[in-house]
Structure 1
Amino acid sequence: VYAYTAMVSACASNGRYREAVAVFQKMEEVGCKPTLITYNVILSVYGKMSMPWIKVNELMDNMKNAGIAPDLYTYNTLISCCRRGLYEEAAQVFHEMKLAGFMPDKVTYNALLDVYGKSQRPKEAMEVLLDMELHGFAPSDVTYNSLISAYARNGLLEEAMEIKAQMIKKGIKPDVFTYTTLFSGFEKAGKDDCAIKVFEEMRSAGCKPNTCTFNALIKMHGNRRRFSEMMKTFEEMKNCDCCPDIVTWNSLIAVFGQNGMYTEVSGLFHEMKRAGFVPERDTFNTLISAYSRCGSFDHSMTVYKMMLEAKVSPDLSTYNAVLAALARGGLWEQSEKVLAEMKHAHCKPNELSYSCLLHAYANGNEVDRMVSFAQKVYSGEIQLHAVLFKTLVLVSSKTDLLVETERAFSEMKRRCYLLDITTLNAMLSIYGRRQIFDKADEILNFIKERQLTPTLTTYNTLMHMYSLSGLFERAEEFLKEIILKGLKPDIISYRTLINAYCRNGRLKDASRILSGMRDSGIMPDVVTYNTLVASYAANAMFLEAIAMVRCMIHQGCRPNRNTYNSIVDFYCKFNGLDEASMFINRLSKFDPHLTRNEELRLLERVKNECHR
């Protein structure tokens, strides 16, 4: 038993958690009974592997059935196993521990604070601090860092800064974890200037960034699509003797996944494995999400199967990643089945699970189901959470339900929930689409007052709003502002202006924007080219329309049915049936991919126009 326990401990100490579990299982298979120390070590391993709570409970049942009573270390470790949002379970363990006659120590309180911090439960965290002080335990830097985490993760950044000030007053110096937690909180809220100030204060205080700090910087640059700065930070990290960890790789994969960069996601995964990292649950979860964001649902499900084959048990985050993948495709029926499967596996859905279901309803055009589920949230049947109200703002805005969007937004303000830039962008979007300028201005003023950093989505939304109202110059000013702010316009930025100019017959301006788009390194897609081709044809500018088709083919963008339909249809509209036929007969000379069937289809289209 001592040899096996030593092997389990050695594997755990070196981060080889799967091997530690394998040794423990082998120990049981050969009939060697684990001791209290063995169980405590493997329980700690389960916590680090984020094993599902049902597995942790099974281990505890086996321990008790073997006649081994838990000690204080066991209970403290059990609380630590609850770090991933299992705050109710942590409270239950804390209660059982006291019933068993154990008095909480400093480690117990800090572990419980850590759980509440990571579960975004600032109120409960503060109650633990008061109880801790009442029992004569002086808070340490670990205590304050957990408390700051609880407030920062919940978006209560002013309160988090106040706790940091209290920490300093008590003679406890903020460390790298304090600063990194605050930096991440401001970054998540979209307050980049405040985040950078925290980073500068950290360096001024002589506090050296660690791997977690660099990971937060990588995430900030990635979320703002500043990919070159992100990769520079990655290189700087290595130069500062901070070795990239699994979180670093997961963050990079997540960023490229969020931006639909499939090649980069796959490349990073292979590079990560070459660097000696074995994918664990978090990596599999990140990959499932990344591939689904790249539009590759099949790859997401392949990764899920790979995970199961590697005998890595799905946890709440895994199910949520699968639900998010289904939501993007609007597969609401499958989403409902996954939720049922979760409950069967004793994995309790959380606010993110229900958020994904709402997105699945919205993307699947199941508006009635979405509104019905929203009522469950408002009635309290589903546990109230800021994430759910934010989701209701997003999905209601997406489905153009103004009353429902404003109701969810008002509820967020009433409950003093964090109004981040994503939520405000959703409000701006629905007001912009409906041309409600006074309301849109209110949102813009709110963004400025709160010192939030506008994102590319903010600018694209404003461009769309002003282009719809015919204020093209104002819309184009936002394109220039995007570039001045160091953001990179995307295809939507340029397409918004091109569509606006084309709708109003300003084809020279549309062509100028197209040139700027290509000069910036963004290749127009078939939808962008088709907009210009159809606009030229609608204005009887057929030479220009055909020149645009030649241009798109030369740039490697293949025309589709709509490209040629618009030219043929407008030739016919302007009584140019012969010209339409001549155009079709010459098509094969500059479009090598044109099939004979496509030629015949277009000729039939002209023939049908003749008989009208």
Structure 2
Amino acid sequence: MKQRLLSVGEQGSHHVFSQNKRITQLGKSGQIEDAIKFFTQMAEKNTVTYNSMISVYAKNGRINAARNLFDKMPRRNLVSWNTMVSGYLHNGKFDEAYKLFVIMPRRDLFSWTLMITCYTRNGEVEKARELFDSLPCSYRKGVACWNAMISGYVKKGRVNEAKRLFDEMPVKNLISWNSMLAGYTQNRKMRLGLEFFNEMDERDVVSWNLMVDGFIQVGDLDSAWKFFQETQKPNVVSWVTMLSGFARNGNILESRRLFDQMPSRNIVSWNAMISAYVQRCEIDEASRLFEEMPERDSVSWTTMINGYVRIGKLDEARELLNEMPYRNIGAQTAMISGYIQCNKVDEARRFFDEIGTWDVVCWNAMIAGYAHHGRINEALCLSKRMVNKDMVTWNTMISCYAQVGQMDRAVKIFEEMGERDLVSWNSLIAGFMLNGQNLDALKSFALMGHEGKKPDQLSFACGLSSCATIAALQVGNQLHQVVVKGGYLNYLVVNNALITMYAKCGRILEAGLVFNGICHADVISWNSLIGGYAINGYGKEALKLFEEMASEGMAPDEVTFIGILSACNHAGMVDHGLKLFKCMSKVYAIEPLAEHYACMVDLLGRVGRLDEAFEIVRGMKVKATAGVWGALLGACRAHGNLELGRLAAHKLSEFEPHKTSNYVLLSNIHAEANRWNEVQEVRMLMNASSTVKEPGCSWVEVRNQVHGFLSDDSTRSRPDIGVTLASLNSHIRNAFHISEVSA
């Protein structure tokens, strides 16, 4: 009888165990409502049941529900506390996790390791180190905490600190060695990584995989292939790493050959091969593999949905999403991105609202979608509803505020961010540049260097553009040196910015040298130099470059013709300008924009051919702009055409009713015709339309200092600008360790 009762007890225990396992499975597959229903209907629950449900809530973003269940538990064990702490950490609530950690009735090594690991994974290495340094003596020899701390330093790129900690370890295991090796391979320090690898007393397949992946990261496929072939007993990760390396470098045939040779394939290998085809937009082949898969997971479905999205087949993507056994937030986010990519932002928002439960990536996709399509207010409103913002969210908000000219709000967010990455700095610098605050852009560039952030091609492009706008040649020279030192001359966007900077600073020879050093110039490169010749009065050189552009098979665009027509304008080459203007549409199928018409009006107006200029305005296929009427008004002023000047001034006042310079031009035309009553009338109109006149401003560089002049500035000097730029020179030299350059 007793034996029978024990058997029944064991059966009950087994039944509860099976039910607990079922809850976990439902949670992992994202079927949160089914898991809740199953938990509620369970007749018998033990501590493990509660722990499982807490974990399900936490991993699906319902951290408050997890805490409520934790507080209602009849009994808690150490696993319960660790699960709740882990839940807070998983949801980014580090302060709440730490509060719970502090009041735990007891902690084990796992508790300490959990907190340290989660801080390091979130990039908060200093907090992790504080916990690590406060470890009880009994746990100091626990290798897991040391390994977590080393991995944290590695993730932040602080390889030297990781190595110091590694050398101090009282006991090392293979994970310790591999963690340190990852520090070298993941941070592209393959020479040191190879030396460290050769020093290892023991290696496993992870060690070899790290070396293969490291060489792939630096583009050395030959060395990666050599290490892959020398790997003893390669596992599926070895095969997938090499397969993905080939795919990333465009060797899709090699990837497929490896896939076909794999001794055994798991779902990760199938997903990797499908992903390789998707990256190459070979969706038909990806679809064939998808259909052949023995089993699929959420990654498989999401990858295929992403594939259809990439080629704009939203109906197929939506159909596949509807076929998924269970909805996955990654697949739903891919669908939102697809709608946004196809300019269907409202449909994306409707789909977003249907989801109901979002993760941070989903929120960011919708916010970025609004921002990308210029719907900044909607992006900002949505971001305010978001609870757990990450760095991507804050960076997007900085860009949004910059786009609407609210740089004070952008700066405030930037300053309040706990941690900033390169995108944060670039967003701020680009914001200053776009809003005309070029000195602030250059200051931010210098500060970025002082904080140890290495600029990328976008940072340099924005910095050089700011130098171009205010003709800060010496600062531009310093940035050029940083570009050379950092190896960024291979980036077209940087070279193009250098060409523009030198051209706008009047150094057209240096601009030409940069252009000649480009291996594969794009249309922006050609346009930058043609525009540089134009603004410096080198009309013949601009025409010659335009002819070279055509002979090399580079098709011009609208910007090319703005530059070349401006060059003809500045050089007085009327016939060449007329010929080029006519061949725009006939030869290159480029319909003229208002800017092209303005160039032609100015070109004809300069030589007194006002009737022809007016006929061009009347025959425009697009709506005239202030630039067109302004060019005509200026020509009328130069040649004393009062009647046409009054018409141009009237039209111009519709576009710029508060711009006093237009009234001044008309007033001068009347004055030169001795029509003083009309002069007085225009002056009265000018006073009525604008109470504050915006002063004109220009810059000039003297002895390596830039001076700004305002039309109403009685001092006629702005030494503060020169001092600021000299200070920036010093900051950039110190931040990036470059030598003095004489302009």
TM-score bin, normalised by smaller chain: 0.5 to 0.7
Indicate conservation of the 8 Å contact 2:526/2:549, yes or no: yes
TM alignment of 1:138-217, pairs within 5 A? 140-141=239-240, 143-145=242-244, 148-149=247-248, 160-161=249-250, 163-171=251-259, 177-178=275-276, 181=279, 198=281, 210-211=305-306, 214=309
For the Cα contact (< 8 Å) 2:473–2:505, is it kept in 1?
yes
Give % identity. Answer: 12
* Aligned mate of 1:517, from 594, 615, 622: 622
Return the alpha-carbon distance in structure 2 between the equivalents of residues 205 and 229 of structure 1. Answer: 25
Structure number with bigger Rg: 2
What's the CA shift for 1:447?
A: 5.9
Q: Is residue 315 from structure 1 mapped to residue 415 from structure 2 by the alignment?
A: no
2:128 is the alignment partner of 1:59: yes
Residue 535 (structure 1) aligns with: 635
Per-residue deviation, residues 359-418 of structure 1 (Å, max 9, x unmatched) = 33333322023224424544x3x45553455543343344343332233334442xxxx6
Match of 2:662 in 1: 563
- Tell me which amino acid in the other structure corresponds to 1:56: V
Q: Where does structure 2 lack aligned partners over 5 or more consecutive residues?
A: 1-77, 159-182, 261-269, 291-302, 314-338, 694-743
For residue 511 of structure 1, report the CA deviation from its aligned partner: 1.7
> What per-residue deviation string (whole Å, max 9, x for no partner) do you get for residues 75-125 of structure 1?
778766669xx98872569679857867464598479848975xxx424x6
| 8 A Cα contact 1:532 1:548, kept in partner | yes
Whether 1:266 aligns to 2:368 is no
How many angstroms apart in 1 are the aligned matches of 2:690 and 2:498? 47
Amino acid at match of 1:423: S
Q: Offset at 1:282?
A: 2.0
The one-letter code matched in structure 2 to 1:265 is I
Contact 1:288-1:303 within 8 A present in 2 as well: yes
Change beyond 3 A, Cα 1:144–1:181:
same
**Counterpart position of 2:679:** 580
State the match for 2:465 in structure 1: 359
Trace 1:93-492 onto structure 2 (pairs within 5 A): 103=203, 105=205, 109=209, 113=213, 117=217, 121-123=218-220, 127-128=223-224, 130-136=226-232, 137=234, 140-141=239-240, 143-145=242-244, 148-149=247-248, 160-161=249-250, 163-171=251-259, 177-178=275-276, 181=279, 198=281, 210-211=305-306, 214=309, 230-232=342-344, 235=347, 245-246=362-363, 248-249=365-366, 251-252=368-369, 255-256=372-373, 264-271=375-382, 273=384, 276=386, 278-292=388-402, 296=405, 299-309=406-416, 311-328=417-434, 334=440, 337-338=443-444, 341-342=447-448, 345-350=451-456, 352-375=458-481, 377-378=483-484, 380=485, 382=486, 386-387=490-491, 388-389=494-495, 391-413=497-519, 419-431=521-533, 434-435=538-539, 436=541, 437-446=543-552, 448=554, 456-458=558-560, 460-465=562-567, 469-470=573-574, 471-475=577-581, 477-478=583-584, 492=595
Counterpart of 1:90 in structure 2 is 187
Q: Return closer, same or farther for 1:582/1:389 CA change in 2, 3 Å cut-off.
A: closer
Q: Give the Cα separation in 2 of the matches to 1:563 and 1:557.
A: 8
Per-residue deviation at 1:345?
4.1
| Shift in alpha-carbon separation, 1:323–1:239, aligned structure 2, 3 A | closer
TM-score, normalised via structure 2 length? 0.55
Q: How far apart, CA to CA, are the structure 2 residues paired with 1:176 and 1:458?
A: 42
Cross-structure match for 1:222: none
Question: 1:569, CA displacement in angstroms?
Answer: 0.7
Q: Give the TM-score normalised by structure 1.
A: 0.65
Q: How many residue pairs align between the two structures?
A: 514
State the Cα distance separating 1:566 from its structure 2 match. 1.1
Q: CA 1:402–1:96 in structure 2 vs 1: closer, same or farther (change >3 Å)?
A: same
Instruction: Tell me, yes or no, if the aligned pair for 2:633 and 2:648 is still in contact at 8 Å.
Output: yes
Letter in 2 for 1:545: G
Cα distance, 1:268 vs. partner?
2.6
Rounded to whole Å, the distance in 2 between the matches of 1:7 and 1:77 is 22
* 395-404 or 86-95, which deviates more: 86-95
Task: Show the counterpart of 1:69.
Answer: 143
Q: Which amino acid aligns with 2:413?
A: M
- Are the counterparts in 2 of residues 330 and 359 from structure 1 also a CA contact under 8 Å? no
